[in-house]
Structure 1
Amino acid sequence: MALHQKEQELRSLFSQWLHNNGNETIINRLSELAEDSELQETWQSLLFELPDEMQPELIEQQHAAIFDKVYQNLIETEPGLMPAAPVRHMRPWRKYAVAAAILVLFAAGGFYFFNTGKDHPANEKITETSPGRASQQSDNNKAILTLGSGQQIILDTSANGKLAQQSGAEVIKSENGQIIYQLNDSITASQQTIDTNTVSTPRGGEYTITLPDGSIAWLNAASSISFPTAFRGNERTVTVQGEVYLQVAKNSSQPFRVKVKDALIDVVGTAFNVNAYAEEPISRITLLEGSISLKKGNERKIMKPGQQVWFRENSNTLNFSENIDTEQVVAWKNGTFDFRDQPFESVMNQIARWYDMKIVYEDKIPDVKILGIMSRNTNLSDMLKSFELTTGIKFKIENNIKPGRIIIQR
Structure 2
Amino acid sequence: MSSANKNEISCLLRKYFSGTLSPGEKIRLDSWLEEREEHRVLFERLHNDTRFAEEYGVFRRVDTERAWERFREGQGLGRRRRIGTWVRYAAVIMIPLIVGGIWWGISSGRKEKQPLVAQKSLPVLRKTDVILELADGKKMVLKGKQEKMIQVGEKLVVKQAAGELVYSDSVGNTRVDTNILRVPKGGEFKLQLADGTRVYLNSATKLKYPVAFEGEERRVYLEGEAYFEVAKDAERPFFVVTDEMTARVYGTEFNVNTSSENGVRTVLVEGKVGVTVRGSEREYVLKPSEMAFYDRGSGKVDVREVDTDLYTLWRKGMFVFERESLESIMETLSAWYDVEVFFQSESAKRLHFSGHMKRYEQIDEILHAITDATGVVFTINGKTVCVSR
TM-score relative to the length of structure 2: 0.75
Cα separation, 2, equivalents of 1:43 and 1:144 = 53
| 1:329 match: secondary structure | helix
Which amino acid counterpart does residue 282 of structure 1 have in structure 2? G
Higher mean alpha-carbon deviation, 339-348 vs 64-73, is at 64-73
Cα separation, 1, equivalents of 2:106 and 2:24 = 16
**1:284 corresponds to which residue?**
265
Equivalent of residue 151 in structure 2, options 140, 155, 164: 164
**1:123 corresponds to which residue?**
113
Mapped contact 1:100–1:119 kept (Cα < 8 A): no
Shift of 1:385: 0.7
**1:307 corresponds to which residue?**
290
Cα separation, 1, equivalents of 2:47 and 2:23 = 14
Shift of 1:286: 0.4
Shift of 1:304: 0.9
**2:88 corresponds to which residue?**
none
Shift of 1:142: 3.6
Cα separation, 1, equivalents of 2:308 and 2:273 = 16
Shift of 1:119: 2.2
Q: 1:335 to 1:73 in 2, by over 3 A?
A: farther
| 1:81 match: secondary structure | helix
Cα separation, 1, equivalents of 2:24 and 2:314 = 33
| 1:351 match: secondary structure | helix
Q: 1:144 to 1:261 in 2, by over 3 A?
A: same
Cα separation, 1, equivalents of 2:266 and 2:351 = 24
Shift of 1:245: 0.2
Q: 1:231 to 1:167 in 2, by over 3 A?
A: farther
Higher mean alpha-carbon deviation, 115-124 vs 198-207, is at 115-124
Equivalent of residue 164 in structure 2, options 178, 189, 196: 178
**1:386 corresponds to which residue?**
369
Q: 1:65 to 1:377 in 2, by over 3 A?
A: farther
Structure 2: runs of 5+ lacking an equivalent: 49-104
Matching of residue 328 in structure 1 with residue 307 in structure 2: no
Superposed CA deviations along residues 156-186 of structure 1, whole A, max 9, x for unmatched, are 2584211214145322202x3310112555x
**1:144 corresponds to which residue?**
131
Matching of residue 376 in structure 1 with residue 362 in structure 2: no
Identity of aligned residues (%): 24
Matching of residue 219 in structure 1 with residue 210 in structure 2: no
Give me the CA root mean square deviation. 3.2
How many residue pairs end up in the alignment? 326
Which amino acid counterpart does residue 290 of structure 1 have in structure 2? G
| 1:340 match: secondary structure | strand
Which amino acid counterpart does residue 177 of structure 2 have in structure 1? D
Cα separation, 2, equivalents of 1:219 and 1:43 = 44
Shift of 1:328: 1.6
Shift of 1:67: 6.8
What are the equivalent positions in structure 2 for 1:392-403 lying under 5 Å apart? Answer: 392-399=375-382
Mapped contact 2:12–2:25 kept (Cα < 8 A): no
Q: 1:40 to 1:335 in 2, by over 3 A?
A: farther
Q: 1:165 to 1:204 in 2, by over 3 A?
A: closer
What are the equivalent positions in structure 2 for 1:399-410 lying under 5 Å apart? Answer: 399=382, 404-410=383-389
Structure 1: runs of 5+ lacking an equivalent: 1-38, 49-62, 85-94, 108-114
Mapped contact 2:239–2:249 kept (Cα < 8 A): yes
Mapped contact 2:169–2:196 kept (Cα < 8 A): no
**2:178 corresponds to which residue?**
196
Superposed CA deviations along residues 300-344 of structure 1, whole A, max 9, x for unmatched, are 11111111100123654221112x111121110111100112111
Which amino acid counterpart does residue 326 of structure 2 have in structure 1? F
Mapped contact 2:117–2:377 kept (Cα < 8 A): no
**Higher percent of residues as helix:** 2
Superposed CA deviations along residues 361-389 of structure 1, whole A, max 9, x for unmatched, are 11215221111111111221111111111
Mapped contact 2:33–2:39 kept (Cα < 8 A): no
Equivalent of residue 103 in structure 1, options 43, 60, 69: 43
Mapped contact 2:128–2:184 kept (Cα < 8 A): no
Shift of 1:280: 1.8
Equivalent of residue 356 in structure 1, options 338, 344, 347: 338
**1:293 corresponds to which residue?**
274
Matching of residue 44 in structure 1 with residue 12 in structure 2: no
**1:30 corresponds to which residue?**
none
Cα separation, 2, equivalents of 1:73 and 1:319 = 48
Mapped contact 1:169–1:181 kept (Cα < 8 A): no
Shift of 1:103: 1.6
Mapped contact 2:134–2:152 kept (Cα < 8 A): no
Shift of 1:129: 2.4
TM-score relative to the length of structure 1: 0.71
Cα separation, 2, equivalents of 1:340 and 1:116 = 25
